[in-house]
Structure 1
Protein backbone atom coordinates (compact mmCIF):
# COMPACT_ATOMS: atom_id res chain seq x y z
CA UNK A 1 0.00 0.00 0.00
CA UNK A 2 2.81 2.34 0.87
CA UNK A 3 4.54 1.56 -2.40
CA UNK A 4 1.49 2.69 -4.43
CA UNK A 5 1.19 5.77 -2.27
CA UNK A 6 4.82 6.60 -2.92
CA UNK A 7 4.28 6.26 -6.66
CA UNK A 8 1.34 8.69 -6.55
CA UNK A 9 3.44 11.66 -5.50
CA UNK A 10 5.63 11.88 -8.63
CA UNK A 11 2.56 11.35 -10.80
CA UNK A 12 0.78 14.30 -9.18
CA UNK A 13 3.94 16.39 -9.44
CA UNK A 14 4.24 15.53 -13.12
CA UNK A 15 0.62 16.53 -13.70
CA UNK A 16 1.21 19.88 -11.95
CA UNK A 17 4.34 20.45 -14.00
CA UNK A 18 2.47 19.66 -17.21
CA UNK A 19 -0.35 22.02 -16.25
CA UNK A 20 2.18 24.74 -15.47
CA UNK A 21 3.88 24.21 -18.80
CA UNK A 22 0.54 24.44 -20.62
CA UNK A 23 -0.32 27.65 -18.76
CA UNK A 24 3.09 29.15 -19.63
CA UNK A 25 2.65 28.17 -23.27
CA UNK A 26 -0.85 29.69 -23.32
CA UNK A 27 0.52 32.90 -21.82
CA UNK A 28 3.23 33.08 -24.45
CA UNK A 29 0.72 32.51 -27.23
CA UNK A 30 -1.57 35.21 -25.81
CA UNK A 31 1.33 37.68 -25.64
CA UNK A 32 2.31 36.80 -29.21
CA UNK A 33 -1.24 37.36 -30.47
CA UNK A 34 -1.47 40.64 -28.52
CA UNK A 35 1.86 41.81 -29.93
CA UNK A 36 0.77 40.92 -33.48
CA UNK A 37 -2.46 42.85 -33.06
CA UNK A 38 -0.50 45.85 -31.78
CA UNK A 39 1.73 45.77 -34.86
CA UNK A 40 -1.30 45.55 -37.16
CA UNK A 41 -2.94 48.50 -35.40
CA UNK A 42 0.22 50.63 -35.66
CA UNK A 43 0.78 49.79 -39.32
CA UNK A 44 -2.88 50.37 -40.09
CA UNK A 45 -2.71 53.78 -38.47
CA UNK A 46 0.18 54.78 -40.74
CA UNK A 47 -1.50 53.50 -43.91
CA UNK A 48 -3.80 56.44 -44.63
CA UNK A 49 -1.17 59.16 -43.91
CA UNK A 50 1.28 57.40 -46.24
CA UNK A 51 -1.34 57.19 -48.99
CA UNK A 52 -2.15 60.88 -48.54
CA UNK A 53 1.56 61.74 -48.74
CA UNK A 54 1.98 59.68 -51.93
CA UNK A 55 -1.09 61.28 -53.53
CA UNK A 56 0.14 64.72 -52.47
CA UNK A 57 3.53 64.10 -54.06
CA UNK A 58 1.93 62.86 -57.31
CA UNK A 59 -0.40 65.84 -57.56
CA UNK A 60 2.41 68.36 -57.07
CA UNK A 61 4.86 66.48 -59.33
CA UNK A 62 2.36 66.35 -62.20
CA UNK A 63 1.50 70.03 -61.75
CA UNK A 64 -2.21 69.38 -61.31
CA UNK A 65 -2.40 72.14 -58.67
CA UNK A 66 -0.36 75.38 -58.76
CA UNK A 67 2.49 75.56 -56.19
CA UNK A 68 0.95 78.77 -54.84
CA UNK A 69 -2.01 76.70 -53.64
CA UNK A 70 -0.38 73.37 -52.85
CA UNK A 71 3.38 73.22 -52.23
CA UNK A 72 5.18 69.90 -52.54
CA UNK A 73 6.00 67.80 -49.46
CA UNK A 74 9.69 68.66 -49.95
CA UNK A 75 8.91 72.40 -49.89
CA UNK A 76 6.83 72.01 -46.72
CA UNK A 77 9.64 70.05 -45.07
CA UNK A 78 12.15 72.73 -46.07
CA UNK A 79 9.90 75.38 -44.54
CA UNK A 80 9.81 73.41 -41.30
CA UNK A 81 13.58 73.04 -41.26
CA UNK A 82 13.90 76.79 -41.80
CA UNK A 83 11.56 77.53 -38.88
CA UNK A 84 13.54 75.15 -36.66
CA UNK A 85 16.87 76.71 -37.62
CA UNK A 86 15.55 80.15 -36.77
CA UNK A 87 14.38 78.82 -33.39
CA UNK A 88 10.78 79.82 -34.05
CA UNK A 89 9.39 76.30 -34.27
CA UNK A 90 10.69 75.24 -30.85
CA UNK A 91 9.41 78.43 -29.23
CA UNK A 92 5.98 78.21 -30.87
CA UNK A 93 5.53 74.55 -29.95
CA UNK A 94 6.65 75.06 -26.34
CA UNK A 95 4.35 78.04 -25.80
CA UNK A 96 1.32 76.41 -27.44
CA UNK A 97 1.76 73.12 -25.56
CA UNK A 98 2.10 75.01 -22.27
CA UNK A 99 -1.10 76.96 -22.93
CA UNK A 100 -3.00 73.81 -23.88
CA UNK A 101 -1.87 71.83 -20.84
CA UNK A 102 -2.67 74.60 -18.35
CA UNK A 103 -6.04 75.43 -19.92
CA UNK A 104 -6.92 71.75 -20.26
CA UNK A 105 -6.06 71.03 -16.62
CA UNK A 106 -8.19 73.92 -15.35
CA UNK A 107 -11.14 73.22 -17.64
CA UNK A 108 -11.12 69.47 -17.03
CA UNK A 109 -10.95 69.91 -13.24
CA UNK A 110 -13.88 72.34 -13.24
CA UNK A 111 -15.80 70.06 -15.61
CA UNK A 112 -15.30 67.12 -13.29
CA UNK A 113 -16.45 69.04 -10.20
CA UNK A 114 -19.48 70.74 -11.75
CA UNK A 115 -20.37 67.63 -13.75
CA UNK A 116 -20.44 65.69 -10.48
CA UNK A 117 -22.67 68.32 -8.87
CA UNK A 118 -25.15 68.29 -11.75
CA UNK A 119 -25.05 64.51 -12.13
CA UNK A 120 -25.49 63.71 -8.46
CA UNK A 121 -27.71 66.53 -7.23
CA UNK A 122 -31.24 67.07 -8.43
CA UNK A 123 -31.07 70.69 -7.26
CA UNK A 124 -27.77 71.19 -9.07
CA UNK A 125 -29.29 69.76 -12.23
CA UNK A 126 -32.27 72.12 -12.04
CA UNK A 127 -30.18 75.23 -11.31
CA UNK A 128 -27.10 74.70 -13.47
CA UNK A 129 -27.89 72.40 -16.40
CA UNK A 130 -29.98 74.89 -18.46
CA UNK A 131 -27.39 77.66 -18.06
CA UNK A 132 -24.48 75.43 -19.07
CA UNK A 133 -26.46 74.11 -22.03
CA UNK A 134 -26.94 77.66 -23.28
CA UNK A 135 -23.30 78.66 -22.72
CA UNK A 136 -22.09 75.51 -24.49
CA UNK A 137 -23.79 76.69 -27.69
CA UNK A 138 -21.73 79.91 -27.82
CA UNK A 139 -19.06 79.69 -30.59
CA UNK A 140 -15.45 79.84 -29.45
CA UNK A 141 -14.66 83.03 -31.37
CA UNK A 142 -17.52 84.84 -29.63
CA UNK A 143 -15.58 84.68 -26.36
CA UNK A 144 -12.45 86.31 -27.75
CA UNK A 145 -13.53 90.00 -27.76
CA UNK A 146 -14.97 89.73 -24.25
CA UNK A 147 -11.89 88.00 -22.84
CA UNK A 148 -9.60 90.55 -24.44
CA UNK A 149 -11.60 93.39 -22.85
CA UNK A 150 -11.61 91.69 -19.47
CA UNK A 151 -8.16 90.06 -19.37
CA UNK A 152 -6.29 91.98 -22.11
CA UNK A 153 -4.15 90.06 -24.61
CA UNK A 154 -1.89 88.32 -22.10
CA UNK A 155 -1.74 84.65 -21.20
CA UNK A 156 -4.81 84.87 -18.97
CA UNK A 157 -7.24 85.43 -21.85
CA UNK A 158 -5.79 82.57 -23.93
CA UNK A 159 -5.73 80.07 -21.07
CA UNK A 160 -9.27 81.05 -20.06
CA UNK A 161 -10.52 80.43 -23.60
CA UNK A 162 -8.81 77.02 -23.70
CA UNK A 163 -10.27 76.16 -20.28
CA UNK A 164 -13.75 76.99 -21.61
CA UNK A 165 -13.16 74.62 -24.52
CA UNK A 166 -11.95 71.83 -22.23
CA UNK A 167 -14.70 72.31 -19.66
CA UNK A 168 -17.79 71.31 -21.60
CA UNK A 169 -16.79 67.84 -22.91
CA UNK A 170 -15.80 66.74 -19.39
CA UNK A 171 -18.82 68.36 -17.76
CA UNK A 172 -21.25 66.82 -20.26
CA UNK A 173 -19.88 63.27 -20.14
CA UNK A 174 -19.46 63.19 -16.34
CA UNK A 175 -22.90 64.60 -15.55
CA UNK A 176 -24.63 62.26 -18.03
CA UNK A 177 -22.71 59.19 -16.86
CA UNK A 178 -23.36 59.82 -13.15
CA UNK A 179 -27.10 59.97 -13.80
CA UNK A 180 -26.95 56.39 -15.07
CA UNK A 181 -24.79 54.76 -12.39
CA UNK A 182 -26.30 51.47 -11.20
CA UNK A 183 -28.51 52.31 -8.21
CA UNK A 184 -27.82 48.93 -6.61
CA UNK A 185 -24.09 49.73 -6.66
CA UNK A 186 -24.73 53.04 -4.91
CA UNK A 187 -26.98 51.38 -2.34
CA UNK A 188 -24.28 48.80 -1.63
CA UNK A 189 -21.80 51.61 -1.01
CA UNK A 190 -24.18 53.32 1.37
CA UNK A 191 -24.71 50.03 3.18
CA UNK A 192 -20.98 50.07 3.94
CA UNK A 193 -21.31 53.54 5.44
CA UNK A 194 -20.15 55.57 2.43
CA UNK A 195 -21.79 58.95 1.87
CA UNK A 196 -20.95 62.22 0.14
CA UNK A 197 -17.40 62.58 -1.16
CA UNK A 198 -16.23 59.09 -0.01
CA UNK A 199 -19.17 57.51 -1.87
CA UNK A 200 -18.36 59.55 -4.98
CA UNK A 201 -14.62 58.78 -5.02
CA UNK A 202 -14.97 55.11 -4.01
CA UNK A 203 -18.08 53.95 -5.91
CA UNK A 204 -19.53 56.44 -8.36
CA UNK A 205 -16.37 57.86 -9.94
CA UNK A 206 -14.82 54.44 -10.71
CA UNK A 207 -18.14 53.38 -12.24
CA UNK A 208 -18.02 56.25 -14.74
CA UNK A 209 -14.26 56.17 -15.41
CA UNK A 210 -14.64 55.10 -19.09
CA UNK A 211 -16.96 58.06 -19.69
CA UNK A 212 -14.58 60.39 -17.86
CA UNK A 213 -11.66 59.29 -20.05
CA UNK A 214 -13.77 59.77 -23.19
CA UNK A 215 -14.60 63.25 -21.98
CA UNK A 216 -10.93 63.97 -21.36
CA UNK A 217 -10.04 62.95 -24.92
CA UNK A 218 -12.73 65.22 -26.33
CA UNK A 219 -11.64 68.01 -24.01
CA UNK A 220 -8.04 67.72 -25.19
CA UNK A 221 -9.12 67.96 -28.83
CA UNK A 222 -11.26 70.99 -27.97
CA UNK A 223 -8.30 72.55 -26.17
CA UNK A 224 -6.26 72.51 -29.38
CA UNK A 225 -9.16 74.01 -31.33
CA UNK A 226 -9.64 76.82 -28.82
CA UNK A 227 -5.86 77.39 -28.67
CA UNK A 228 -5.76 78.17 -32.37
CA UNK A 229 -8.79 80.43 -32.01
CA UNK A 230 -7.02 82.36 -29.24
CA UNK A 231 -3.66 82.63 -30.99
CA UNK A 232 -5.15 83.56 -34.33
CA UNK A 233 -6.59 86.76 -32.92
CA UNK A 234 -4.43 87.95 -30.06
CA UNK A 235 -0.94 86.55 -29.88
CA UNK A 236 2.65 87.32 -30.82
CA UNK A 237 3.94 83.76 -30.34
CA UNK A 238 2.60 80.24 -30.74
CA UNK A 239 1.46 78.01 -33.59
CA UNK A 240 -1.74 79.98 -34.16
CA UNK A 241 0.26 83.18 -34.48
CA UNK A 242 2.61 81.45 -36.92
CA UNK A 243 -0.37 80.59 -39.12
CA UNK A 244 -1.45 84.23 -39.29
CA UNK A 245 2.11 85.45 -39.82
CA UNK A 246 2.61 82.95 -42.64
CA UNK A 247 -0.65 84.02 -44.25
CA UNK A 248 0.37 87.68 -44.12
CA UNK A 249 3.72 86.83 -45.75
CA UNK A 250 2.24 84.51 -48.37
CA UNK A 251 4.13 81.49 -47.00
CA UNK A 252 1.69 78.70 -47.77
CA UNK A 253 4.47 76.15 -47.22
CA UNK A 254 4.73 77.29 -43.60
CA UNK A 255 0.96 77.18 -43.21
CA UNK A 256 0.92 73.53 -44.30
CA UNK A 257 3.80 72.72 -41.98
CA UNK A 258 2.16 74.31 -38.94
CA UNK A 259 -1.10 72.48 -39.67
CA UNK A 260 0.81 69.18 -39.79
CA UNK A 261 2.56 70.03 -36.50
CA UNK A 262 -0.80 70.75 -34.86
CA UNK A 263 -2.14 67.43 -36.13
CA UNK A 264 0.88 65.56 -34.76
CA UNK A 265 0.67 67.28 -31.37
CA UNK A 266 -3.03 66.48 -31.17
CA UNK A 267 -2.36 62.83 -32.02
CA UNK A 268 0.44 62.58 -29.43
CA UNK A 269 -1.61 64.08 -26.61
CA UNK A 270 -4.57 61.87 -27.53
CA UNK A 271 -2.30 58.82 -27.44
CA UNK A 272 -1.10 59.81 -23.97
CA UNK A 273 -4.69 59.96 -22.74
CA UNK A 274 -5.22 56.55 -24.36
CA UNK A 275 -2.29 55.16 -22.34
CA UNK A 276 -3.83 56.64 -19.20
CA UNK A 277 -7.12 54.96 -20.13
CA UNK A 278 -5.46 51.54 -20.43
CA UNK A 279 -3.63 52.07 -17.13
CA UNK A 280 -6.88 52.94 -15.37
CA UNK A 281 -8.61 49.89 -16.82
CA UNK A 282 -5.81 47.61 -15.60
CA UNK A 283 -6.01 49.14 -12.11
CA UNK A 284 -9.80 48.77 -11.97
CA UNK A 285 -9.74 45.35 -13.60
Structure 2
Protein backbone atom coordinates (compact mmCIF):
# COMPACT_ATOMS: atom_id res chain seq x y z
CA UNK A 1 0.00 0.00 0.00
CA UNK A 2 1.45 3.33 -1.10
CA UNK A 3 1.79 6.01 1.56
CA UNK A 4 0.35 9.42 0.81
CA UNK A 5 2.33 12.51 1.74
CA UNK A 6 0.44 15.04 3.76
CA UNK A 7 1.65 18.60 3.51
CA UNK A 8 0.85 21.30 5.98
CA UNK A 9 0.25 24.95 5.13
CA UNK A 10 3.25 27.20 5.62
CA UNK A 11 1.41 29.14 8.32
CA UNK A 12 0.83 25.93 10.31
CA UNK A 13 4.49 24.96 9.99
CA UNK A 14 5.56 28.41 11.16
CA UNK A 15 3.25 28.20 14.17
CA UNK A 16 4.62 24.75 15.05
CA UNK A 17 8.21 25.98 14.80
CA UNK A 18 7.31 28.93 17.03
CA UNK A 19 5.80 26.58 19.63
CA UNK A 20 8.92 24.41 19.52
CA UNK A 21 11.18 27.43 19.96
CA UNK A 22 9.09 28.71 22.87
CA UNK A 23 8.80 25.34 24.57
CA UNK A 24 9.99 24.44 28.03
CA UNK A 25 13.64 24.75 27.04
CA UNK A 26 13.15 28.15 25.45
CA UNK A 27 11.17 29.39 28.42
CA UNK A 28 13.87 28.19 30.80
CA UNK A 29 16.61 30.00 28.88
CA UNK A 30 14.51 33.16 28.67
CA UNK A 31 13.88 33.04 32.42
CA UNK A 32 17.56 32.58 33.19
CA UNK A 33 18.56 35.50 30.97
CA UNK A 34 15.86 37.72 32.47
CA UNK A 35 16.82 36.76 36.03
CA UNK A 36 20.57 37.25 35.51
CA UNK A 37 20.70 41.03 36.02
CA UNK A 38 18.38 41.07 39.11
CA UNK A 39 20.44 38.24 40.64
CA UNK A 40 23.69 40.16 40.14
CA UNK A 41 22.14 43.29 41.64
CA UNK A 42 20.91 41.35 44.69
CA UNK A 43 24.32 39.74 45.26
CA UNK A 44 26.16 43.06 45.04
CA UNK A 45 23.49 44.72 47.17
CA UNK A 46 23.78 42.07 49.90
CA UNK A 47 27.60 42.22 49.79
CA UNK A 48 27.55 46.02 50.17
CA UNK A 49 25.19 45.78 53.12
CA UNK A 50 27.03 42.91 54.85
CA UNK A 51 30.42 44.60 54.60
CA UNK A 52 29.05 47.89 55.92
CA UNK A 53 29.85 49.81 52.75
CA UNK A 54 26.26 51.09 52.71
CA UNK A 55 24.42 52.27 55.81
CA UNK A 56 21.43 50.02 56.64
CA UNK A 57 19.44 53.16 57.47
CA UNK A 58 19.81 54.29 53.86
CA UNK A 59 19.73 50.95 52.05
CA UNK A 60 18.87 47.83 54.08
CA UNK A 61 20.19 44.56 52.74
CA UNK A 62 17.94 42.10 50.84
CA UNK A 63 18.13 39.69 53.79
CA UNK A 64 16.92 42.41 56.18
CA UNK A 65 14.05 43.22 53.82
CA UNK A 66 13.19 39.52 53.56
CA UNK A 67 13.20 39.17 57.35
CA UNK A 68 10.88 42.18 57.66
CA UNK A 69 8.55 40.64 55.07
CA UNK A 70 8.42 37.34 56.97
CA UNK A 71 7.88 39.12 60.28
CA UNK A 72 5.01 41.22 58.95
CA UNK A 73 3.48 38.22 57.21
CA UNK A 74 3.59 36.00 60.29
CA UNK A 75 2.04 38.72 62.44
CA UNK A 76 -0.73 39.17 59.87
CA UNK A 77 -0.23 42.95 59.72
CA UNK A 78 0.97 42.91 56.12
CA UNK A 79 -2.15 41.13 54.85
CA UNK A 80 -4.47 43.32 56.90
CA UNK A 81 -2.94 46.51 55.52
CA UNK A 82 -2.86 45.07 52.00
CA UNK A 83 -6.57 44.26 52.26
CA UNK A 84 -7.33 47.85 53.28
CA UNK A 85 -5.34 49.13 50.30
CA UNK A 86 -7.04 46.77 47.84
CA UNK A 87 -10.52 47.70 49.03
CA UNK A 88 -9.67 51.40 48.89
CA UNK A 89 -8.14 51.14 45.42
CA UNK A 90 -11.02 49.04 44.07
CA UNK A 91 -13.60 51.51 45.33
CA UNK A 92 -11.80 54.53 43.90
CA UNK A 93 -11.15 52.88 40.53
CA UNK A 94 -14.77 51.71 40.32
CA UNK A 95 -16.23 55.19 40.84
CA UNK A 96 -13.60 56.85 38.66
CA UNK A 97 -14.10 54.34 35.83
CA UNK A 98 -17.88 54.54 36.06
CA UNK A 99 -17.77 58.34 35.78
CA UNK A 100 -15.32 58.07 32.87
CA UNK A 101 -17.53 55.62 30.97
CA UNK A 102 -20.67 57.70 31.44
CA UNK A 103 -19.16 61.10 30.72
CA UNK A 104 -16.84 59.80 28.02
CA UNK A 105 -19.76 58.15 26.26
CA UNK A 106 -21.83 61.35 26.35
CA UNK A 107 -18.93 63.52 25.17
CA UNK A 108 -18.03 61.07 22.40
CA UNK A 109 -21.59 60.80 21.10
CA UNK A 110 -22.59 64.46 21.36
CA UNK A 111 -20.67 67.15 19.49
CA UNK A 112 -22.39 69.90 21.49
CA UNK A 113 -21.46 68.39 24.86
CA UNK A 114 -17.93 67.78 23.61
CA UNK A 115 -17.46 71.46 22.76
CA UNK A 116 -18.80 72.53 26.15
CA UNK A 117 -17.21 69.98 28.49
CA UNK A 118 -14.08 68.54 26.89
CA UNK A 119 -11.83 71.68 26.94
CA UNK A 120 -12.31 72.09 30.70
CA UNK A 121 -11.64 68.40 31.32
CA UNK A 122 -8.49 68.52 29.20
CA UNK A 123 -7.22 71.39 31.32
CA UNK A 124 -7.96 69.45 34.49
CA UNK A 125 -6.33 66.33 33.04
CA UNK A 126 -3.01 68.12 32.71
CA UNK A 127 -3.01 69.10 36.38
CA UNK A 128 -0.66 66.81 38.39
CA UNK A 129 -2.28 64.57 41.00
CA UNK A 130 0.09 65.82 43.69
CA UNK A 131 -1.19 69.35 43.04
CA UNK A 132 -4.85 68.41 43.35
CA UNK A 133 -4.46 66.06 46.34
CA UNK A 134 -4.08 68.87 48.95
CA UNK A 135 -7.19 70.58 47.56
CA UNK A 136 -9.16 67.34 47.74
CA UNK A 137 -8.03 66.81 51.34
CA UNK A 138 -9.00 70.41 52.13
CA UNK A 139 -12.50 69.84 50.76
CA UNK A 140 -13.14 66.30 52.03
CA UNK A 141 -10.85 66.11 55.08
CA UNK A 142 -8.41 63.35 55.98
CA UNK A 143 -11.07 60.64 56.06
CA UNK A 144 -11.73 57.82 53.65
CA UNK A 145 -13.72 60.00 51.24
CA UNK A 146 -10.72 62.11 50.23
CA UNK A 147 -8.65 59.01 49.50
CA UNK A 148 -11.40 57.54 47.31
CA UNK A 149 -11.67 60.85 45.43
CA UNK A 150 -7.88 61.02 44.86
CA UNK A 151 -7.84 57.46 43.50
CA UNK A 152 -10.95 58.07 41.39
CA UNK A 153 -9.44 61.29 40.04
CA UNK A 154 -6.36 59.40 38.88
CA UNK A 155 -8.43 56.59 37.35
CA UNK A 156 -10.89 58.87 35.55
CA UNK A 157 -8.88 60.51 32.78
CA UNK A 158 -7.17 57.54 31.05
CA UNK A 159 -10.50 55.78 30.57
CA UNK A 160 -12.31 59.00 29.69
CA UNK A 161 -9.78 59.79 26.96
CA UNK A 162 -9.90 56.24 25.58
CA UNK A 163 -13.70 56.25 25.62
CA UNK A 164 -13.99 59.50 23.69
CA UNK A 165 -11.27 58.64 21.16
CA UNK A 166 -12.62 55.13 20.60
CA UNK A 167 -16.12 56.41 19.87
CA UNK A 168 -14.81 59.13 17.56
CA UNK A 169 -12.62 56.56 15.83
CA UNK A 170 -15.51 54.33 14.71
CA UNK A 171 -15.42 53.96 10.91
CA UNK A 172 -17.87 56.42 9.33
CA UNK A 173 -18.58 53.92 6.54
CA UNK A 174 -19.94 51.46 9.09
CA UNK A 175 -22.11 54.21 10.50
CA UNK A 176 -23.55 54.80 7.04
CA UNK A 177 -24.30 51.08 6.73
CA UNK A 178 -26.30 51.12 9.97
CA UNK A 179 -28.27 54.08 8.68
CA UNK A 180 -29.08 52.22 5.47
CA UNK A 181 -30.23 49.26 7.57
CA UNK A 182 -32.47 51.70 9.50
CA UNK A 183 -30.82 51.04 12.86
CA UNK A 184 -32.21 53.21 15.62
CA UNK A 185 -29.91 55.21 17.89
CA UNK A 186 -29.91 52.55 20.59
CA UNK A 187 -29.33 49.69 18.20
CA UNK A 188 -26.56 51.61 16.46
CA UNK A 189 -24.90 52.18 19.82
CA UNK A 190 -25.09 48.56 20.98
CA UNK A 191 -24.41 46.85 17.63
CA UNK A 192 -21.74 49.13 16.20
CA UNK A 193 -20.31 51.84 18.42
CA UNK A 194 -19.65 49.86 21.60
CA UNK A 195 -18.22 46.73 19.92
CA UNK A 196 -15.97 48.87 17.69
CA UNK A 197 -14.84 50.96 20.66
CA UNK A 198 -14.33 47.98 23.00
CA UNK A 199 -10.56 47.48 22.32
CA UNK A 200 -9.83 51.12 23.08
CA UNK A 201 -12.07 51.07 26.14
CA UNK A 202 -10.28 48.01 27.56
CA UNK A 203 -6.88 49.61 26.94
CA UNK A 204 -8.12 52.71 28.73
CA UNK A 205 -9.38 50.57 31.62
CA UNK A 206 -5.94 49.03 31.94
CA UNK A 207 -4.37 52.48 32.20
CA UNK A 208 -7.15 53.60 34.50
CA UNK A 209 -6.41 50.83 37.00
CA UNK A 210 -2.68 51.61 36.82
CA UNK A 211 -3.22 55.32 37.48
CA UNK A 212 -5.71 54.52 40.22
CA UNK A 213 -3.07 52.34 41.89
CA UNK A 214 -0.64 55.25 41.71
CA UNK A 215 -3.33 57.48 43.21
CA UNK A 216 -3.61 55.01 46.08
CA UNK A 217 0.07 55.50 46.88
CA UNK A 218 -0.38 59.28 46.95
CA UNK A 219 -3.54 59.07 49.06
CA UNK A 220 -2.08 56.74 51.67
CA UNK A 221 1.26 58.51 51.99
CA UNK A 222 -0.36 61.91 52.48
CA UNK A 223 -2.29 60.73 55.50
CA UNK A 224 -3.89 57.40 56.35
CA UNK A 225 -4.54 55.16 59.34
CA UNK A 226 -4.50 51.93 57.33
CA UNK A 227 -3.06 50.45 54.16
CA UNK A 228 0.41 49.76 52.79
CA UNK A 229 1.10 53.50 52.55
CA UNK A 230 0.31 53.86 56.24
CA UNK A 231 2.67 50.96 56.98
CA UNK A 232 5.43 52.77 55.09
CA UNK A 233 4.76 56.12 56.80
CA UNK A 234 4.76 54.44 60.21
CA UNK A 235 8.05 52.71 59.35
CA UNK A 236 9.58 56.01 58.30
CA UNK A 237 8.64 57.56 61.63
CA UNK A 238 10.18 54.64 63.52
CA UNK A 239 13.34 54.42 61.37
CA UNK A 240 12.51 51.04 59.80
CA UNK A 241 13.73 51.37 56.21
CA UNK A 242 13.42 47.64 55.58
CA UNK A 243 9.64 47.91 56.11
CA UNK A 244 9.52 50.82 53.67
CA UNK A 245 11.18 48.62 51.06
CA UNK A 246 8.65 45.87 51.79
CA UNK A 247 5.87 48.36 51.08
CA UNK A 248 7.51 49.45 47.80
CA UNK A 249 7.86 45.83 46.69
CA UNK A 250 4.24 45.05 47.62
CA UNK A 251 3.01 48.06 45.63
CA UNK A 252 5.07 46.97 42.61
CA UNK A 253 4.10 43.28 42.72
CA UNK A 254 0.40 43.93 43.28
CA UNK A 255 0.39 46.50 40.48
CA UNK A 256 1.88 43.94 38.10
CA UNK A 257 -0.55 41.21 39.17
CA UNK A 258 -3.53 43.52 38.69
CA UNK A 259 -2.22 44.49 35.25
CA UNK A 260 -1.85 40.82 34.27
CA UNK A 261 -5.42 40.18 35.44
CA UNK A 262 -6.74 42.98 33.23
CA UNK A 263 -4.69 41.74 30.25
CA UNK A 264 -6.18 38.24 30.70
CA UNK A 265 -9.71 39.65 30.63
CA UNK A 266 -8.75 41.78 27.61
CA UNK A 267 -7.56 38.69 25.72
CA UNK A 268 -10.77 36.80 26.45
CA UNK A 269 -13.06 39.63 25.41
CA UNK A 270 -11.14 40.37 22.21
CA UNK A 271 -10.74 36.84 20.86
CA UNK A 272 -12.89 37.80 17.87
CA UNK A 273 -10.24 40.27 16.67
CA UNK A 274 -7.74 38.61 14.34
CA UNK A 275 -5.23 41.40 14.94
CA UNK A 276 -5.25 41.13 18.72
CA UNK A 277 -2.35 39.16 20.20
CA UNK A 278 -2.25 40.55 23.75
CA UNK A 279 0.46 42.64 25.35
Q: 1:206 aligns with which of 195, 198, 201?
A: 195
- Residues 215 and 74 of structure 1: is their aligned pair in 2 closer, same or farther, counting only changes over 3 Å? same
Match of 1:187 in 2: 176
* 1:134 shift after superposition: 1.4
- Residues 169 and 93 of structure 1: is their aligned pair in 2 closer, same or farther, counting only changes over 3 Å? same
RMSD: 3.0
Alpha-carbon separation, structure 2, partners of 1:44 and 1:111:
41
* TM-score, scaled relative to structure 2: 0.84
Which structure's CA Rg is the greater one?
A: 1
* 1:81 shift after superposition: 1.4
- Residues 210 and 256 of structure 1: is their aligned pair in 2 closer, same or farther, counting only changes over 3 Å? same
Q: Does 1:174 align with 2:163?
A: yes
* 1:236 shift after superposition: 0.4
* 1:274 shift after superposition: 0.8
* 1:41 shift after superposition: 6.8
Q: 1:227 aligns with which of 208, 216, 223?
A: 216
Match of 1:269 in 2: 258
* 1:178 shift after superposition: 2.1
Q: Secondary structure at the match of 2:245?
A: helix
* 1:179 shift after superposition: 1.8
What is the 5 A alignment of 1:107-256? Answer: 107-256=96-245
Which sits farther off after the overlay, 138-147 or 64-73?
138-147
* 1:33 shift after superposition: 5.6
* 1:59 shift after superposition: 3.5
Runs of 5+ unmatched residues, structure 2: 275-279
- Per-residue Cα deviation, 1:200-227 (whole angstroms, up to 9, x for no partner): 2321222222222221121111111111
Alpha-carbon separation, structure 2, partners of 1:254 and 1:106:
31
* 1:107 shift after superposition: 1.1
Match of 1:56 in 2: 45
* 1:29 shift after superposition: 6.1
- Residues 104 and 28 of structure 1: is their aligned pair in 2 closer, same or farther, counting only changes over 3 Å? same
- Residues 250 and 197 of structure 1: is their aligned pair in 2 closer, same or farther, counting only changes over 3 Å? farther
* 1:42 shift after superposition: 6.3
* 1:66 shift after superposition: 1.8
Equivalenced residue count is 273
Alpha-carbon separation, structure 2, partners of 1:86 and 1:208:
47
Alpha-carbon separation, structure 2, partners of 1:206 and 1:241:
41
Q: Secondary structure at the match of 1:194?
A: coil
The structure in which a higher percent of residues are helix is: 1
- Per-residue Cα deviation, 1:56-105 (whole angstroms, up to 9, x for no partner): 33443454422221111110011111212222101110010111112112
Alpha-carbon separation, structure 1, partners of 2:272 and 2:37:
33
Alpha-carbon separation, structure 2, partners of 1:282 and 1:273:
14
* TM-score, scaled relative to structure 1: 0.82
- Residues 259 and 63 of structure 1: is their aligned pair in 2 closer, same or farther, counting only changes over 3 Å? same
Runs of 5+ unmatched residues, structure 1: 1-10
Q: Secondary structure at the match of 1:208?
A: helix
Which sits farther off after the overlay, 219-228 or 61-70?
61-70
